[in-house]
Amino acid sequence: MKIGLVDVDSRIPNLALMKLSAYHKSIGNEVKMFDPLFDHPERIYSSKVFTATEKYGYYPDCEVIQGGSGFNLGIKLHDGIETMYPDYSLYGIDYAMGFTTRGCTRECGFCIVPRKEGKLHPVADIYQFWNGQERLTIMDNNLAADTEHFKLIVNQILKHKIQTDFNQGLDIRLIDDEKAKLLSKVQLWKGYRFRFAWDSMDLEQEVMRGINTLTKYMKPYKLMFYILIGYDTTEDEDLYRVEMLKSLGIRSFVMPYDRTSEYQRDFARWVNGQVYTTVAWPDYTKKGRGLE
């Protein structure tokens, strides 16, 4: 059987498609990324991550299976495919990536993870998707919520001296001295930081406590915080969080809740482009709106 794969909107290599590719190759099927100009597959798997992304424009006359959170939260890989070692050759990458837990202990109103994956539960260790690569992406949504599993995974990373990125971030509220000490021993990918989130002003005390704990064992420049704006904070509170972290030597990355908002887009550009390190927000907005 000829299998075509469509990655509609992934910003990083699509793990589900790599597992589908591994499975179908293991049973003798021909697998490739679908090219509408040249390919005539018998079945297509199409994966879409974001609901706001437009649907893929063309499918040939064949069986089409659509999945991913952008299509339907209820469609999942069956266990035999979910546990496959990914086919990294699909994207030509030389690093490993995967989940060791699924779900989350939190129920944040802006996040689909609890609805999609349920409560936090371990599903693997790194050996299910890592096999000697120098670099590793851990994609767990809240690895720190299970202390014993957190220690298992970080100790596996340390044992093999793997350059690692926790790309979905870690929960600053759950960082204690034991976890901070372990993290301080992890070799990060060059250019990456330990990622956390400060989504609401209500979390300020917990954020500051977590930062104080981490900076006992590592320099502040190794930390980065996602800053959600436009959900339940004011513009003044958005600026306060960014400036507070800046004063501590910690980088921010702004996540607009409403990408149609001119303010949210402008504020994200100011912070994410690192303009905020040299130009004050009032001066930036004046220039951006032609008021100078």
Amino acid 266 reads D
pLDDT in tens, the chain (292 residues): 999 999 998 989 999 999 999 999 999 999 999 998 888 999 999 998 888 788 777 788 899 999 888 888 778 888 889 999 999 999 999 999 999 999 887 877 777 777 777 888 999 999 999 999 999 999 999 999 999 999 999 999 999 999 999 999 999 999 999 999 999 999 999 889 999 999 999 999 999 999 999 999 999 999 999 999 999 999 999 999 999 999 999 999 999 999 899 999 999 999 999 999 999 999 998 765 444 4
Is the Cβ–Cβ distance between 133 and 158 less than 8 Å?
no
What's this model's pTM, rounded to 2 decimal places? 0.90
Would you state the pLDDT for residue 292? Answer: 43
Where in the chain are the domains? Answer: 1-86
Contacts of 81 (CB under 8 A, 6+ apart): 19, 20, 23
CA–CA dist 282, 126 (Å, integer): 46
Would you state the pLDDT for residue 173? Answer: 96
Would you state the pLDDT for residue 287? Answer: 61
Is the Cβ–Cβ distance between 151 and 125 less than 8 Å?
no
Q: Residue holding tokens 């299910």?
A: 128
Question: Up-side HSE of residue 264: CA atoms within 13 Å toward CB?
Answer: 16
Contacts of 109 (CB under 8 A, 6+ apart): 231
Is the Cβ–Cβ distance between 171 and 142 less than 8 Å?
yes
Q: Is 118 left (phi over 0), alpha (psi -120 to 50) or beta?
A: left
Contacts of 205 (CB under 8 A, 6+ apart): none
